[in-house]
Structure 1
Amino acid sequence: MGVLGVGIDLVDVDRFRVSLARTPSMRARMFTDGERAYAETANDPTERYAARFAAKEAVMKAMGVGLGAFGFHDVEVLRADGGQPSLRVVGAAELLAVERGVLAWQLSLTHTATSAGAVVVALG
Protein backbone atom coordinates (compact mmCIF):
# COMPACT_ATOMS: atom_id res chain seq x y z
CA MET A 1 0.00 0.00 0.00
CA GLY A 2 1.24 3.46 -0.86
CA VAL A 3 0.33 7.02 0.01
CA LEU A 4 -2.34 8.45 -2.30
CA GLY A 5 -2.82 11.73 -0.49
CA VAL A 6 -2.06 13.69 2.65
CA GLY A 7 -4.29 16.31 4.22
CA ILE A 8 -3.65 18.62 7.15
CA ASP A 9 -5.88 21.18 8.82
CA LEU A 10 -5.54 23.52 11.80
CA VAL A 11 -8.45 25.15 13.65
CA ASP A 12 -8.35 28.12 16.02
CA VAL A 13 -10.25 26.85 19.09
CA ASP A 14 -11.47 30.27 20.28
CA ARG A 15 -12.80 31.13 16.84
CA PHE A 16 -14.50 27.73 16.65
CA ARG A 17 -16.02 28.31 20.11
CA VAL A 18 -17.54 31.57 18.88
CA SER A 19 -18.98 29.80 15.82
CA LEU A 20 -20.52 27.06 17.97
CA ALA A 21 -22.05 29.63 20.33
CA ARG A 22 -23.39 31.76 17.49
CA THR A 23 -24.82 28.76 15.58
CA PRO A 24 -25.74 25.96 18.02
CA SER A 25 -27.25 23.88 15.18
CA MET A 26 -23.71 23.56 13.79
CA ARG A 27 -23.05 20.67 16.20
CA ALA A 28 -25.79 18.51 14.72
CA ARG A 29 -25.07 19.63 11.14
CA MET A 30 -21.34 18.84 11.24
CA PHE A 31 -20.91 16.06 13.77
CA THR A 32 -22.36 12.59 14.13
CA ASP A 33 -24.18 11.44 17.26
CA GLY A 34 -21.07 9.54 18.35
CA GLU A 35 -18.77 12.52 17.85
CA ARG A 36 -21.11 14.77 19.82
CA ALA A 37 -21.48 12.24 22.63
CA TYR A 38 -17.69 11.97 22.97
CA ALA A 39 -17.04 15.72 22.75
CA GLU A 40 -19.70 16.56 25.32
CA THR A 41 -18.01 14.43 28.00
CA ALA A 42 -15.25 17.07 28.27
CA ASN A 43 -15.48 20.13 30.53
CA ASP A 44 -14.84 22.20 27.39
CA PRO A 45 -15.95 20.16 24.36
CA THR A 46 -14.75 22.82 21.90
CA GLU A 47 -11.24 21.36 21.59
CA ARG A 48 -12.67 17.95 20.67
CA TYR A 49 -15.12 19.45 18.18
CA ALA A 50 -12.37 21.53 16.60
CA ALA A 51 -10.08 18.51 16.21
CA ARG A 52 -12.86 16.51 14.58
CA PHE A 53 -13.68 19.39 12.25
CA ALA A 54 -9.99 19.55 11.31
CA ALA A 55 -10.05 15.81 10.55
CA LYS A 56 -13.01 16.18 8.19
CA GLU A 57 -11.26 19.04 6.38
CA ALA A 58 -8.02 17.02 6.22
CA VAL A 59 -9.89 14.11 4.59
CA MET A 60 -11.12 16.49 1.89
CA LYS A 61 -7.57 17.70 1.32
CA ALA A 62 -6.16 14.16 1.25
CA MET A 63 -8.61 13.34 -1.55
CA GLY A 64 -7.98 16.61 -3.39
CA VAL A 65 -11.53 17.95 -3.05
CA GLY A 66 -13.02 20.98 -1.37
CA LEU A 67 -16.05 21.86 0.70
CA GLY A 68 -19.27 20.50 -0.73
CA ALA A 69 -17.73 17.35 -2.22
CA PHE A 70 -19.43 15.39 0.56
CA GLY A 71 -21.33 16.05 3.76
CA PHE A 72 -19.64 16.42 7.13
CA HIS A 73 -21.53 13.36 8.43
CA ASP A 74 -19.89 11.29 5.68
CA VAL A 75 -16.66 11.34 7.70
CA GLU A 76 -16.74 10.29 11.34
CA VAL A 77 -13.86 10.30 13.79
CA LEU A 78 -13.95 7.18 15.95
CA ARG A 79 -11.96 6.56 19.10
CA ALA A 80 -10.58 3.18 20.18
CA ASP A 81 -10.66 2.20 23.85
CA GLY A 82 -6.97 3.09 24.08
CA GLY A 83 -7.62 6.55 22.61
CA GLN A 84 -6.35 5.99 19.07
CA PRO A 85 -8.47 7.91 16.54
CA SER A 86 -9.63 6.40 13.28
CA LEU A 87 -11.99 7.33 10.46
CA ARG A 88 -15.24 5.92 9.18
CA VAL A 89 -16.00 7.16 5.68
CA VAL A 90 -19.49 6.60 4.22
CA GLY A 91 -21.83 8.01 1.57
CA ALA A 92 -20.39 10.44 -0.98
CA ALA A 93 -17.02 10.49 0.82
CA GLU A 94 -16.78 6.71 0.52
CA LEU A 95 -17.63 6.87 -3.19
CA LEU A 96 -14.88 9.45 -3.76
CA ALA A 97 -12.43 7.32 -1.78
CA VAL A 98 -13.26 4.24 -3.87
CA GLU A 99 -12.87 6.25 -7.10
CA ARG A 100 -9.43 7.37 -5.93
CA GLY A 101 -8.36 3.89 -4.82
CA VAL A 102 -8.25 4.63 -1.09
CA LEU A 103 -8.16 1.37 0.87
CA ALA A 104 -7.25 2.68 4.33
CA TRP A 105 -6.78 5.85 6.33
CA GLN A 106 -4.32 7.01 8.96
CA LEU A 107 -5.35 9.83 11.28
CA SER A 108 -3.52 11.86 13.88
CA LEU A 109 -5.25 14.50 16.03
CA THR A 110 -3.84 17.07 18.41
CA HIS A 111 -5.28 19.93 20.38
CA THR A 112 -4.44 22.52 22.98
CA ALA A 113 -6.57 25.23 24.56
CA THR A 114 -5.84 27.45 21.53
CA SER A 115 -5.57 25.22 18.45
CA ALA A 116 -6.63 21.84 17.13
CA GLY A 117 -5.14 19.98 14.21
CA ALA A 118 -5.43 16.82 12.18
CA VAL A 119 -3.27 14.99 9.68
CA VAL A 120 -4.88 12.41 7.40
CA VAL A 121 -3.08 10.00 5.11
CA ALA A 122 -5.05 8.21 2.38
CA LEU A 123 -3.52 4.83 1.56
CA GLY A 124 -4.14 2.64 -1.45
Structure 2
Amino acid sequence: MILQTGVDMVDVTELARMVELSGDAFLESSWTSTERLYCAGRTDRLASRWAAKEATMKALGQGVGQISPLEIEIAAVEGERPVLVLRGNAAARAHQLGLDTWSVSLTHEDRWALAFVVGVGSTDDEHR
Protein backbone atom coordinates (compact mmCIF):
# COMPACT_ATOMS: atom_id res chain seq x y z
CA MET A 1 0.00 0.00 0.00
CA ILE A 2 1.13 3.53 -0.80
CA LEU A 3 0.25 6.37 1.55
CA GLN A 4 1.03 10.05 0.93
CA THR A 5 -0.04 12.90 3.20
CA GLY A 6 0.04 16.67 3.10
CA VAL A 7 -1.03 19.37 5.52
CA ASP A 8 -1.15 23.13 5.19
CA MET A 9 -2.34 26.10 7.23
CA VAL A 10 -3.37 29.50 5.86
CA ASP A 11 -3.74 32.86 7.57
CA VAL A 12 -7.30 33.90 6.61
CA THR A 13 -6.55 37.58 7.27
CA GLU A 14 -3.53 37.53 4.96
CA LEU A 15 -5.48 35.72 2.25
CA ALA A 16 -8.28 38.31 2.51
CA ARG A 17 -5.66 41.03 2.00
CA MET A 18 -4.28 39.24 -1.07
CA VAL A 19 -7.79 38.87 -2.54
CA GLU A 20 -8.50 42.54 -1.90
CA LEU A 21 -5.25 43.64 -3.57
CA SER A 22 -5.39 41.24 -6.52
CA GLY A 23 -9.13 40.94 -7.06
CA ASP A 24 -10.68 38.75 -9.71
CA ALA A 25 -7.38 37.81 -11.36
CA PHE A 26 -6.18 36.05 -8.19
CA LEU A 27 -9.56 34.42 -7.57
CA GLU A 28 -9.86 33.13 -11.13
CA SER A 29 -6.29 31.77 -11.22
CA SER A 30 -6.51 29.98 -7.87
CA TRP A 31 -10.04 28.62 -7.39
CA THR A 32 -12.31 26.93 -9.93
CA SER A 33 -15.64 28.55 -10.78
CA THR A 34 -17.36 25.79 -8.77
CA GLU A 35 -15.22 26.57 -5.71
CA ARG A 36 -15.80 30.30 -6.03
CA LEU A 37 -19.54 29.75 -6.31
CA TYR A 38 -19.59 27.51 -3.22
CA CYS A 39 -17.43 29.90 -1.17
CA ALA A 40 -19.60 32.89 -2.14
CA GLY A 41 -16.86 35.37 -1.21
CA ARG A 42 -16.25 33.85 2.23
CA THR A 43 -12.52 34.20 2.74
CA ASP A 44 -12.45 31.47 5.42
CA ARG A 45 -13.79 28.95 2.89
CA LEU A 46 -11.39 30.15 0.20
CA ALA A 47 -8.51 29.85 2.68
CA SER A 48 -9.37 26.29 3.68
CA ARG A 49 -9.49 25.32 0.01
CA TRP A 50 -6.16 27.05 -0.66
CA ALA A 51 -4.69 25.06 2.25
CA ALA A 52 -6.12 21.87 0.68
CA LYS A 53 -4.53 22.70 -2.67
CA GLU A 54 -1.15 23.23 -0.99
CA ALA A 55 -1.55 20.07 1.10
CA THR A 56 -2.39 18.08 -2.05
CA MET A 57 0.70 19.42 -3.80
CA LYS A 58 2.77 18.30 -0.81
CA ALA A 59 1.22 14.83 -0.93
CA LEU A 60 2.06 14.71 -4.65
CA GLY A 61 5.61 15.95 -4.03
CA GLN A 62 5.04 18.91 -6.36
CA GLY A 63 4.61 22.65 -6.01
CA VAL A 64 2.88 25.59 -7.63
CA GLY A 65 4.35 25.89 -11.10
CA GLN A 66 4.44 22.13 -11.56
CA ILE A 67 0.74 21.90 -10.74
CA SER A 68 -1.80 24.68 -11.23
CA PRO A 69 -4.13 25.39 -8.30
CA LEU A 70 -6.98 25.00 -10.82
CA GLU A 71 -5.98 21.35 -11.35
CA ILE A 72 -6.96 20.66 -7.73
CA GLU A 73 -10.59 21.22 -6.86
CA ILE A 74 -12.41 20.79 -3.57
CA ALA A 75 -15.95 19.84 -4.55
CA ALA A 76 -18.47 20.44 -1.81
CA VAL A 77 -22.12 20.20 -1.01
CA GLU A 78 -23.31 21.96 2.13
CA GLY A 79 -23.42 19.50 5.04
CA GLU A 80 -21.42 16.78 3.24
CA ARG A 81 -17.75 15.84 3.25
CA PRO A 82 -15.56 17.69 0.74
CA VAL A 83 -14.25 15.67 -2.19
CA LEU A 84 -10.85 16.14 -3.81
CA VAL A 85 -10.93 16.24 -7.64
CA LEU A 86 -7.66 16.15 -9.59
CA ARG A 87 -7.18 17.15 -13.23
CA GLY A 88 -4.30 17.69 -15.63
CA ASN A 89 -0.80 17.48 -14.15
CA ALA A 90 -2.18 16.79 -10.65
CA ALA A 91 -4.09 13.73 -11.89
CA ALA A 92 -1.08 12.57 -13.94
CA ARG A 93 1.22 12.86 -10.93
CA ALA A 94 -1.24 10.96 -8.72
CA HIS A 95 -1.41 8.21 -11.35
CA GLN A 96 2.41 8.15 -11.60
CA LEU A 97 2.63 7.68 -7.81
CA GLY A 98 -0.10 5.01 -7.85
CA LEU A 99 -2.51 7.10 -5.76
CA ASP A 100 -6.15 6.49 -6.60
CA THR A 101 -8.10 7.22 -3.41
CA TRP A 102 -8.13 10.59 -1.66
CA SER A 103 -9.45 11.98 1.59
CA VAL A 104 -9.47 15.67 2.53
CA SER A 105 -10.39 17.37 5.76
CA LEU A 106 -10.87 21.15 6.05
CA THR A 107 -11.33 23.44 9.02
CA HIS A 108 -11.23 27.14 9.78
CA GLU A 109 -11.41 29.03 13.03
CA ASP A 110 -10.99 32.76 13.48
CA ARG A 111 -7.78 33.68 11.67
CA TRP A 112 -6.63 30.21 10.60
CA ALA A 113 -7.64 27.66 7.98
CA LEU A 114 -6.19 24.15 7.90
CA ALA A 115 -6.38 21.22 5.50
CA PHE A 116 -5.15 17.66 5.77
CA VAL A 117 -4.97 15.45 2.68
CA VAL A 118 -4.32 11.71 2.42
CA GLY A 119 -3.71 9.84 -0.82
CA VAL A 120 -3.78 6.04 -0.86
CA GLY A 121 -2.87 3.58 -3.57
CA SER A 122 -1.69 0.11 -4.34
CA THR A 123 1.90 -0.93 -4.92
CA ASP A 124 0.62 -2.97 -7.87
CA ASP A 125 2.57 -1.64 -10.88
CA GLU A 126 -0.32 -2.65 -13.20
CA HIS A 127 -2.19 0.45 -12.13
CA ARG A 128 0.60 2.83 -13.14
Structure 2 residue 18 is matched with structure 1 residue 4? no
C-alpha distance in structure 2 between counterparts of 1:22 and 1:82, whole Å: 31
Identity of aligned residues (%): 36
What is the match of residue 30 of structure 2? 30
TM-score with structure 2 setting the length: 0.89
- In structure 1, stretches of 5+ residues that fail to align are none
Amino acid at match of 1:11: V
Is 2:3–2:119's contact at 8 Å kept on the other side of the alignment?
Answer: yes
> Structure 2 residue aligned with 1:121, among 118, 121, 124?
118
Q: Which runs of 4+ in 1 moved over 4 A?
A: none
- Provide the secondary structure at the position in 1 that maps to 2:19: helix
Q: 2:101 aligns with which of 100, 104, 107?
A: 104
Amino acid at match of 1:102: L
Give the AA of the match of 2:103: Q
Gap change, CA 1:3 and 1:108, over 3 Å in 2: farther
Query: 2:63 maps to what in 1?
Result: 66
If you compute each CA radius of gyration, which structure gives the higher value, 1 or 2? 2
8 Å contact from structure 2 (residues 4, 120) kept in 1: yes
Shift of 1:64: 1.4
Residue 81 of structure 1, CA deviation: 5.0
Task: Indicate which of 46, 49, 52 corresponds to 2:46.
Answer: 49
How many residue pairs get aligned? The number is 120
Gap regions ≥5 residues in structure 2: 122-128
Structure 2: distance between partners of 1:92 and 1:115: 28
RMSD, aligned α-carbons: 1.2
**How far, CA to CA, are the matches of 1:21 and 1:56 in structure 2?**
20
The one-character-per-residue Cα deviations of 1:37-80 (angstroms, maximum 9, x if unpaired) are 0111xxx6100000000000000001111221111110100114
